Structure formats: C-alpha cells, structure tokens
Amino acid sequence: MIKPIVFLAAGCGLLSAHLRPAELPRARGPYLGQKPPGVTAELFAPGVVSTGQFEHSSPVFTPDLKEIYWSAIIEENGTTTARPIFFMRMVEGAWSKPEVPSFARAFACSESPFISPDGTKLYFHASPTIRPETAAIYCVERAGDGWGEPVELGEPVNLPGLNGEPTVSRTGTIYFAGGHRGRIVLYFSRLVDGRYRERVLMEEKFNNSPADWTPYIAPDESYLIFCSFREGGFGSGDLYISFRRKDGAWGRVINMGEKINTAANERFPNVTPDGKYLFFNSTRKIAGAGADAPGNGQGDVYWIDAKVIEELKRTATEAR
C-alpha cells in the first residue's frame, strides 16, 4: 500500500552552514566544473561535496546533469546533529550553493537519494529519528522545477525494521537493502501495473556476508554493483559487480579490484545518467589531510571513468 506522509514541520532550516563555509565559489560547468577523471579514482568536488564531514552516499544527477543530490552525516563536537540530503542546481551555467530539498525537511534522517532513469521520480530512505532503528523508502515525483511531497512506498517494499538505499531500473524494478535474520541483505521488487510485487531476497551469491548493501542497478538491469564485507576482499567493505547473462541469470560476483577498492570502506556506487562515470564513497585517508578536511577518513566521494565496468565485463566474459 502507498502511504502519503504528513509533514511534521514546515521545514528544519537549511543546514548548509554546518557543512560549508559561509561563502563558496560559484562552480560552473558540468559536474560542478570538476576535471573528469581517468581510470584512477579522484576525489570529487573537495570542499563542496567531499568535506570534512561524513558524506553518507555518493551523488546522483538528474538526466540533464543540471541537479545533483547526496546525503551526509553532520557532526558537531562528536555528536551527530543532522543526517540530511543536499542538492545543488545549475542556473545559467553556475551551480547554486548546497541546500536541503523541501521533501527531506520533515525527517531527522534522510539519505541515499536515487533518481529514476527518466528523471520523473526521486527515491530515498528516511527515519523520524537521527539514529534510525527503523527506516522506510519514500518517493517524490517531479513537479515543475521541484518535487512533490514524499510518499512512503509501504508494503511489500517496506516491512518493519530497516529498509533503504533504493536504486531503480528503467522498468521500475526497485533494488534495496533490508534486514534478514540479523544481517543486512539485498532485495528487489518488480513494478507490475503500477504496484510493487512481493519483495524477493536475492540469491545467496549476493547475500553471503554480515552486510551486503548499497546496491546500484543499471537502467537496463544488465549489471548490479553493491558493497559487501565478504572474505577475500581488500580489507573492509568492497564494491562488487555481477553481470546479467544472456539467459537472464546473474553471473558470478566479481570484486571490482584495486582501481576502486582499498583497505578502507568503499560503498554507495552510482553511475551517471550519461554512463560516463562511476561515483562511490570511500573512507580512505589522504596523507596530510587535516582533521576537518576531505581525506580525513570520515567518508568522501570519489569518481572514476566508467570504462572500468566494461573492463570487468570483458574479464567476466573471458572467464566463462
């Protein structure tokens, strides 16, 4: 059942000042004016998106690449004070300053935004408490230049407990993370005649560690990327990928390798709408980084040429 949400407050105030200096240079051009990366992962938008705070997602863009959304955990004196979604918009070639979108202001915690491939819907998970013991997946629909009010997806997608990190294919199939017997695992639910069918626990190859989560599904469902803490990785959570075979079954799960994974925690994968770049989040430290600067190990956003995905696909094909 789809459940409309009643706003708890008209707004919570813009939290940008917690993350950013009072005056930010106006970035211009695609991807916040950042120089595109090659096959080496690069820190994205230091001081604007990647900050000394804990970025708790990777960014997603609208199909026209003129809006960007991401989430962060804001801490003050060691205490978490907010867990908002932020967004920026390109206006006449220049990017606005980060703001909290209106649809997220009703929640103490709103995270993991994802925009449908056609740009008409934005999905995220949220909770009324800043340290969620429960969370539900919501959707907002495009309304002019903004978004409508958030609607909880309800059952069978949302069940009691934690439900989050949504990612949606071109046909509306939603992949997400949820609880199962004390672990965090991956599910999917197909959209049929405008309604979500029973959620399906993904097969064991995707769910064989204490946490398998933060999925990204390709628009055509040809591959799935996710974070896993399974054995044989680089140290902590690594990003893994599986490609859909010609018979419709999923291929083997492949560690995405040293171009992406480190001994730190890599998660929250997202591929840009133009298919050019893979974004992800990493807790890797940068030598010499200050305690309140990007690279402090809290969690920053990185991006890399999406050619790494094609390279892994060739490897997977050759290994069959």
- The answer to whether residue 31 sits within a structural domain is no
Name which of 92, 85, 21 is nearest 56 in CA terms: 85
pLDDT of amino acid 281: 98
CB 181 within 8 A of CB 221: no
- How many whole angstroms separate alpha carbon 294 and alpha carbon 17? 16
142 Cβ neighbours under 8 A, 6+ residues apart: 119, 120, 121, 122, 148
Residue range 122-148: mean pLDDT, rounded? 96
Say which amino acid occupies 241. I
- The answer to whether residue 121 sits within a structural domain is yes
Residue 95 has pLDDT above 60, yes or no: yes
- The answer to whether residue 184 sits within a structural domain is yes
- The answer to whether residue 84 sits within a structural domain is yes
Range of the domain at 61: 3-19+40-318
pLDDT of amino acid 27: 85
Residue 7 has pLDDT above 70, yes or no: no
238: β partners: 228
CB 294 within 8 A of CB 47: yes
**pLDDT, tens only, 267-284:** 999 999 999 999 999 999
Name which of 161, 187, 185, 163 is nearest 173 in CA terms: 187
Greatest C-alpha distance within the chain: 55
- The answer to whether residue 246 sits within a structural domain is yes
pLDDT of amino acid 320: 62
- How many whole angstroms separate alpha carbon 204 and alpha carbon 85? 32
Residue range 209-228: mean pLDDT, rounded? 97
64 backbone φψ class: left, alpha, beta (φ>0; ψ -120 to 50)? alpha
CB 202 within 8 A of CB 188: yes
Residue 75 has pLDDT above 50, yes or no: yes
**pLDDT, tens only, 170-193:** 999 999 999 999 999 999 999 999
- The answer to whether residue 28 sits within a structural domain is no
Q: Residue 186 maps to which CATH number?
A: 2.120.10.30
- The answer to whether residue 206 sits within a structural domain is yes
Reduced to 3 states (helix: H, G, I; strand: E, B; else coil), residue 204 is helix
pLDDT of amino acid 319: 66
- The answer to whether residue 29 sits within a structural domain is no
| Overall number of domains in the chain | 1
From residue 301, give the alpha-carbon distance in Å to each of 158, 162, 231. Answer: 28, 24, 24
Residue 231 has pLDDT above 50, yes or no: yes
Please provide the DSSP assignment of 135-153 as one string: BEEEEEEEETTEE---EE-
- How far does the chain reach from its first CA to its final CA, in angstroms? 42
pLDDT of amino acid 2: 41
Residue 16 has pLDDT above 80, yes or no: no
- What average pLDDT does the structure give for the chain? 92
